[in-house]
Amino acid sequence: MAGGSDAAETLSCARCSNPASLQCPKCVQLKLPREGAAFCTQDCFKASWSSHKSVHLKAKLSSLGTDSAGGQNSDLASEGWLYCLRKGQSRTPKLPPFNWTGSLRPYPISVKRNVPAHIDKPDWANDGVPKVEPNSDWQHRVEIKTPDQIERMRETCRIAREVLDAAARMIRPGVTTDEIDRVVHEATVAAGAYPSPLNYHFFPKSCCTSVNEVICHGIPDARKLEDGDIINVDVTVYYKGVHGDLNETYFVGNVDEASRKLVQCTYECLDKAISIVKPGVRFRDVGEVINRHGSMSGLSVVKSYCGHGIGELFHCAPNIPHYGRNKAVGVMKAGQTFTIEPMINAGVWRDQMWPDGWTAVTADGKRSAQFEHTLLVTETGVEVLTARLPSSPDVLPWLNK
């Protein structure tokens, strides 16, 4: 502990509010405000350390990119915060060179989060390599789920919804996407489930957070959300041997009208696509419905990524393109489960990949939005397995109209 100056004697202890004359040495080093860094005794300082030390990390994160000497980035690197490369298989302490399409940049990511040993894990959890999925017959045929599989998927999808809702409650300016990932990870594990994206083909985090021009697969990192951003949070959980997958796009603070229209139109594209799901409908018709509504609003539909079958496998048949004039084969049948997840861009539909090998961004740097549900085809129509709950946060304003 460093001794304070005469002025510090008028400060209050951060723990007990008694007059304080001692300063946290790390706060002094980081040049943080004296208020909140003063303590009356060594005992108060030690008792507060477990919570107080978070102030230091937040200060380092807030100064990322502004330290010309790279000192703060060096500190973060020493604590395991590094930039992601090669689809999660390597790290670097320096921002990789790239012809960025928009104003967003990647930030360092934290170390991989642990999953307790008692949690049932998919086969990629330890080494990053799916074993069953790539060679499964269900990559070529669409599985009809058994009643037992359907019931397990209902349970899993409800957990996924509750986890996404927990993430949604975190959305506000100043929160890092890494903090959102932490909430997703902890909520998933608390439910006895595994966060499916974690180490899937080496993906380094427990969810995807796609901000502004990011189309999909954004990696949670140290960047703080800013007023006016939009952010998509994509959650998948693995529970009782099956996966449940959904995502939503949220407003951060005060968002411009064009972004509001983009996000609402994307929600409507998914809603209209779900409305046609029933036995006998062609998978290719989903793209026609989405493309029609998006185009009428002057927006474009991403062609590089599609909806997919889901169940005991994370990704399998059918592939469900979201754009018009696609060549998807097959028709819907009762008992099938799959996702529909349109990605709609304010500008061109084309995408580029960041150096991390995961983050897909719009080619022109304009914004993109996405919504996703896991669906079950029933004898008479569709059941939205990841539907919003009465307890879901009120974060989509158009639903109140």
Tokens of 248: 């939503």
Which residues, other chains included, contact 284 with Cβ-Cβ below 8 Å and sequence gap of 6+? 321, 326, 327, 328, 329
3-state DSSP assignment of residue 4? coil
Check if the beta carbon of residue 14 is closer than 8 Å to that of residue 47: no
Ordered DSSP codes for 135-203: G-GGGTSPPPPPHHHHHHHHHHHHHHHHHHHHHHTT-STT-BHHHHHHHHHHHHHHTT-EETTTTGGG-
Q: Is residue 178 part of an annotated ligand binding site?
A: no
- Annotated binding residue at 234? yes
CA atoms of 17 and 194, how far apart (whole Å): 42
| Helices H / strands E in the chain, number of each | 8, 22
For Cα atoms 35, 39, 43, give the angle at the middle one, nearest 5 degrees. 155
For residue 364, the one-letter residue type is: D
Structure letter (DSSP) for residue 372? B
The verdict on whether residue 227 carries a ligand-binding annotation is no
At 390, which amino acid appears? P
- Tell me the H-state helices in 5-94: 25-29, 42-52, 54-62, 71-78
Q: Rounded CA gap, 382 and 88, in Å?
A: 36
**How far is the C-alpha of 80 from the C-alpha of 178, rounded, in Å?**
13
* Residue 248, number of CB atoms within 10 A of its CB: 29
Q: How many residues are given for the chain? A: 401
Element (H, E) at 28: helix 25-29
Q: Using CA atoms, how far apart are residues 122 and 136, in angstroms rounded to an integer?
A: 15
Q: Within 10 A of 132 (CB to CB), how many other CB atoms are there? A: 12
Binding-site sequence positions for a protein = 217, 315
- From the annotation, which residues make up the binding site for Zn(2+)? 234, 245, 308, 341, 372
Binding residues: 217, 234, 245, 308, 315, 341, 372
